[in-house]
Amino acid sequence: KSVGIIGVPFEKGQKKYGVSVAPAAVRSAGLINHLKTIEGLDVKDYGDIDTTTTEAEVKVDNMSHLSQVSACNKKLSERVSQVLKDGRVAVTIGGDHSIGVGTVDGHYKVNEDMILIWVDAHADINTNKTSDSGSVHGMPVALLVKELADYWPYLPTMDWQVPKFSIKNLGYIGLRSVDEYERLAIEKYKVPAFAMEDIEEHGIRKSIQHILKVLDPEMKKPIHVSFDIDSLDALEAPSTGTPVRGGLSLREAINLMEIIHATGRLRAIDLVEINPALGDDCDRKRTIEAGLCVLKAALGFSRRGTAPRGVLDL
């Protein structure tokens, strides 16, 4: 088993300062060493995406910084494809959630049969016509899915990204802040979406098992998890731009990732929306630690522990 790490110091998909510092903060919290403690995991760092842009601003109604979002995602998409072609699981550290456009696009170009699990308090499926914020981090899913392509105006600079991924291969976990037209899209396309009340009813295990079964009854497709740290309860992950209380406990999120790891089909995971500039030292540390726990669980860390290799065979 091997993974490739990609950092994306990008924050133009939303309005607060600080999410772009997350890759550096997560790295200095020991990301690489933490992952290397996982038995049998080969870790390669592909470095950060260069997010300095010279692109001229393009004006699209109610859509901020489109040209920068586009330029960053174009590079990210190519990097994710490369990591996957190198035979590694792509682990992308954002950045705000607008970078989900690049990670999913890059994954789709390598594995057209991929399924996408969006773990988030929010559905991120607004278009520029339905968004209250104009921030692209609330729009990545709508940019990615082909079924919503006709709801967008022409988007200058985005020609590299042709939405081919089908909304039929999408599932949600952790929702508790869904806008009106987002709810409409979820219902219209019957997206398996487990909001917090559904997780209360069924538990995290049954919830993810149901989604995986609906999206892929034969249980053989590659899985992409896009994990927004704000899916966690705001007490577990306070340092994030759009916190919503009443979210997943860290235990639920770890268990969710263990279940996904156990499928053996996780090919890409994004960890986004950690904002080390929000809150105090203790908030920042707590949030980054939670993110590391989630990643480790997704990549095979066992809470049962691992005995030293070979000793019992002697």
Which residues contact ligand ARG (rule: CB under 6 A)?
Answer: 97, 122, 124, 126, 131, 133, 135, 137-138, 179, 228, 230, 242, 273
Q: Which does 296 bind (CB under 5 to 8 A by kind): Mn ion, ligand ARG, none?
A: none
In whole angstroms, the minimum distance from the beta carbon of 242 to Mn ion comes to 6
Q: Are strands 223-228 and 115-119 parallel, antiparallel or unpaired?
A: parallel
Q: In whole angstroms, what is the distance from residue 184 CA to residue 245 CA?
A: 23
Instruction: Check residue 157 and report its DSSP letter.
Output: T
Is the Cβ–Cβ distance between 28 and 81 less than 8 Å? no
- φ, ψ for residue 283, nearest 5 deg: -65, -45
Q: In whole angstroms, what is the distance from residue 277 CA to residue 269 CA?
A: 23
Q: Which does 263 bind (CB under 5 to 8 A by kind): ligand ARG, Mn ion, none?
A: none
Q: Which does 103 bind (CB under 5 to 8 A by kind): ligand ARG, Mn ion, none?
A: none
Residue 236 within binding range of Mn ion, rule CB under 5 A: no
In whole angstroms, the minimum distance from the beta carbon of 272 to Mn ion comes to 6
Q: How many amino acids of this chain bind Mn ion (CB under 5 A)?
A: 9
**Side chain identity at residue 104, one-letter code:** V
Instruction: Check residue 19 and report its DSSP letter.
Output: G
Residue nearest to ligand ARG (CB): 138
Q: Which pair of structure tokens corresponds to residue 203? A: 């538990």
Q: Which of these segments, 28-36, 58-66, 192-200, 230-238, binds Mn ion (CB under 5 A)? A: 230-238
CA angle 268, 254, 276 (to 5 degrees): 75
Q: In whole angstroms, what is the distance from residue 245 CA to residue 237 CA?
A: 10
**Side chain identity at residue 236, one-letter code:** E
In whole angstroms, the minimum distance from the beta carbon of 221 to Mn ion comes to 22
Residue/partner pairs of 305-309 with CB below 8 Å, 24 or more apart: 306/39, 309/39
- The nearer residue to ligand ARG, 179 or 198, going by C-beta atoms, is 179
- The nearer residue to Mn ion, 228 or 236, going by C-beta atoms, is 228
Residue 124 within binding range of Mn ion, rule CB under 5 A: yes
Residue 120 within binding range of Mn ion, rule CB under 5 A: yes
Q: Which does 282 bind (CB under 5 to 8 A by kind): ligand ARG, Mn ion, none?
A: Mn ion
Q: Which of these segments, 42-50, 66-74, 94-102, 249-257, binds Mn ion (CB under 5 A)? A: 94-102
- The nearer residue to ligand ARG, 3 or 104, going by C-beta atoms, is 104
Q: Which does 135 bind (CB under 5 to 8 A by kind): Mn ion, ligand ARG, none?
A: ligand ARG
169, 192, 296 from 214: Cα distances, Å? 9, 7, 26
- The nearer residue to ligand ARG, 79 or 122, going by C-beta atoms, is 122
Q: Which pair of structure tokens corresponds to residue 154? A: 């022409």
- The nearer residue to ligand ARG, 135 or 157, going by C-beta atoms, is 135
Q: In whole angstroms, what is the distance from residue 24 CA to residue 225 CA?
A: 21
Q: Which does 105 bind (CB under 5 to 8 A by kind): Mn ion, ligand ARG, none?
A: none
In whole angstroms, the minimum distance from the beta carbon of 123 to ligand ARG comes to 7
Is the Cβ–Cβ distance between 239 and 274 less than 8 Å? yes
Is the Cβ–Cβ distance between 172 and 191 less than 8 Å? yes
In whole angstroms, the minimum distance from the beta carbon of 40 to ligand ARG comes to 33
Q: Are strands 2-7 and 193-195 parallel, antiparallel or unpaired?
A: unpaired
Among 187, 249, 282, 303, binds Mn ion (CB under 5 A): 282
**Interaction site with Mn ion (CB under 5 A):** 97, 120-122, 124, 228, 230, 280, 282
